[in-house]
Amino acid sequence: MNKYPTYKPSNIPWIGDVPEHLEMRYLSQICKEQLMRNTGNIETNVLSLSYGKIIQKKKVTISNFTVEK
């Protein structure tokens, strides 16, 4: 790990001190939520978040029902 000349408190106990030049920002100040619809079923991956893991599953469509394989 690089050593920096000066550090400042992060005010977050589990992080501890951070290099003085770092700016603290909320994630919402940096990123935007992407709200896109899968019109025409262009994207065929079905993502599932389970116990902190992202799992990819194949998607099979039978008339109005979606079945995971």
19-34 residue pLDDT tens? 999 988 888 899 888 7
- pLDDT of 38 reads 74
Domain ranges in the chain are 7-68
Q: 33-42 pLDDT, tens per residue?
A: 877 777 787 7
Asked whether the beta carbons of 38 and 60 are under 8 A apart, the reply is no
Inform me whether the pLDDT recorded for 7 exceeds 60: yes
Inform me whether the pLDDT recorded for 46 exceeds 70: no
- Taking the C-alpha atoms of residue 45 and residue 55, their distance in angstroms, rounded to an integer, is 10
- pLDDT of 68 reads 54
Handedness of CA 19, 23, 27, 33 (dihedral sign): negative
